C-alpha cells in the first residue's frame, strides 16, 4: 500500500505523480482510468483523441477534498499512459475517414470509386480492432477486481468495455448523459460510429437490459422511431421535456427520481461531455445548445447511489481541446467526481 505519510493533499499536484497529482501505481490503485485516443468517425469537430495530456495537466489543479466522498482518493486512482499504437492507427484511419466524408458529402457514389470502397472497409475494420482492444484491456482490469473508467476519444470507444462489463456483472443498465441518441444503425457508412454506440450496444450485448438516456436534444426521426418501438429497452428523457417540467414548477428531484426508477440494480454511466451546457464544453466534437450544469448531473449520480444501485463503471467522452484549456479543466473535474462517486458506490 502507498505510504501517504509524506504526501500533502493541500498543495498543488506534482506532475511527476499520476492523475490529480496522486502518488499511486496501477497495482496500488483501486480505480484505473484507461485513456483511448480515438476519434476516427467524428463528423464535426476534432481533437478529442488528444485530450489525455490536457486533462492530466488540468487535473493537477484540483483540490482533493470532495464533500461527497472526502477520502475516496486515498484508495488510489491511476491513469494509464495512452497507447501510441492506437493513436497512430487513429490518425491513419481519421485521414481516410475525412476523405471519405468529403467524397460522399458531394453526392458521389462510393461504388464508383475504388479508393473510397477501400477507405470505408478499412475504417470499419478499425472499429472492430478498437472494440477488441478495449474489451481485452478492460477485461484484464476487471479480472483483477479493479474499478475501471474509460476516457475517450469519441463516444464510439466504450463498446468493448460494455461487453467486458456484461461478462463480469451479468445484467446491467446504461445511464447515458448526452445531447445525442447515438442510436443510428450506422452513420455515413461507419458501422462503429460515435453516432451508433448505443444501437450497437443494444443489439450486440444481451445482458444490457435497459438504456436510460438523459439530456437528448439532437436526433433523427429514425432514432425517435427506434426509441418508440423499444419502450422495454429504452427510456429517453429529452432535454426539452425536462426543461418544460422545470419551467412549469416541477423539481429536478422529481425528474431525477423518475430517471432512477427506470434503471436496474447495476448501472454503467456513459457520459458524453456534450450532455452539458456547451458553455462548459465549447470544443467538444458536436456541441448543441441546451444541456445541464455539472451540479445537476452530480445530483443525479448521488441520488442514483443513495437509491442502492451500484455504479459498476463509467466512460467519459468527447472532451475537446481549446486554446485556453477550459474544456480540459471541466473534463478533469468531471473525471475526478466520477472516480470519487464510483468508489463511494462500491464501498457500501
Q: In the structure grid, which three cell numbers stand for residue 318, read together?
A: 468527447
Q: Angle 118-190-94 (CA atoms, 0-180°, nearest 5)?
A: 65
Query: Which three three-digit cell numbers place residue 18?
Result: 499520476
- The CATH number for 33-345, chosen from 3.40.50.2300, 3.40.30.10, 3.40.800.10, 3.20.20.70, is 3.40.800.10
> CB of 124 within 8 A of CB of 118?
no
Q: How large is the average pLDDT for residues 282-308?
A: 97
pLDDT digit string (tens) for 207-248?
999 999 999 999 999 999 999 999 999 999 999 999 999 999
Residue 157 CB coordination number (10 Å): 31
Residue pLDDT, tens place only, 148-172: 999 999 999 999 999 999 999 999 9
Q: Determine the 3-state secondary structure of 216 from DSSP.
A: strand
What pLDDT sits at residue 71?
94
- Strands in 77-79's sheet, in edge-to-edge order, are 77-79, 31-36, 147-152, 310-317, 266-272, 172-177, 208-216, 234-238
Q: What is the pLDDT at residue 301?
A: 98
- Write down the domain spans for the chain: 33-345
Which pLDDT value is given to residue 101? 84
- Minimum mean pLDDT range among 10-19, 238-247, 300-309: 10-19
Amino acid at each position: 500500500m502507498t505510504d501517504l505519510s509524506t504526501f500533502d493533499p493541500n498543495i498543488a499536484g506534482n506532475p511527476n505523480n499520476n492523475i490529480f497529482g496522486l502518488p499511486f501505481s496501477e497495482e496500488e490503485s483501486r480505480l484505473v482510468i484507461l485513456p483511448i485516443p480515438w476519434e476516427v468517425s467524428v463528423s464535426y469537430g476534432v481533437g478529442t483523441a488528444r485530450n489525455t495530456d490536457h486533462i492530466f495537466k488540468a487535473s493537477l489543479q484540483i483540490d482533493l477534498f470532495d464533500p461527497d466522498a472526502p477520502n475516496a482518493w486515498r484508495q488510489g486512482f491511476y491513469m494509464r499512459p495512452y497507447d501510441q499504437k492506437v493513436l497512430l492507427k487513429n490518425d491513419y484511419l481519421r485521414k481516410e475517414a475525412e476523405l471519405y466524408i468529403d467524397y460522399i458529402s458531394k453526392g458521389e457514389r462510393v461504388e464508383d470509386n475504388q479508393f473510397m470502397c477501400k477507405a470505408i472497409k478499412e475504417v470499419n475494420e478499425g472499429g472492430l480492432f478498437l472494440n477488441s482492444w478495449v474489451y481485452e484491456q478492460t477485461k484484464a482490469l476487471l479480472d483483477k477486481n479493479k474499478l475501471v473508467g474509460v476516457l475517450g476519444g469519441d463516444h464510439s470507444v466504450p463498446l468493448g468495455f460494455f461487453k467486458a462489463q456484461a461478462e463480469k456483472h451479468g445484467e446491467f443498465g446504461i445511464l447515458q448523459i448526452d445531447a445525442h441518441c447515438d442510436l443510428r444503425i450506422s452513420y455515413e457508412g461507419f458501422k462503429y460510429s460515435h453516432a451508433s454506440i448505443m444501437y450497437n450496444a443494444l443489439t450486440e450485448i444481451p445482458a444490457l437490459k435497459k438504456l436510460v438516456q438523459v439530456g437528448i436534444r439532437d436526433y433523427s426521426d429514425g432514432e425517435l422511431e427506434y426509441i418508440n418501438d423499444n419502450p422495454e429497452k429504452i427510456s429517453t428523457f429529452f432535454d426539452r421535456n425536462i426543461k418544460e417540467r422545470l419551467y412549469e414548477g416541477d423539481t429536478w428531484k422529481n425528474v431525477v427520481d423518475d430517471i432512477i426508477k427506470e434503471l436496474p440494480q447495476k448501472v454503467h454511466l456513459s457520459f458524453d461531455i456534450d450532455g452539458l451546457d456547451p458553455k462548459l464544453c465549447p470544443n467538444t466534437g458536436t456541441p448543441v445548445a441546451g444541456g445541464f450544469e455539472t451540479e445537476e448531473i452530480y445530483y443525479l449520480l448521488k441520488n442514483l447511489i443513495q437509491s442502492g444501485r451500484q455504479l459498476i463503471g463509467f466512460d467519459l467522452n468527447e472532451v475537446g481541446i481549446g486554446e485556453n484549456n477550459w474544456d480540459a479543466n471541466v473534463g478533469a473535474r468531471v473525471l475526478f467526481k466520477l472516480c470519487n462517486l464510483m468508489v463511494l458506490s462500491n464501498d457500501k
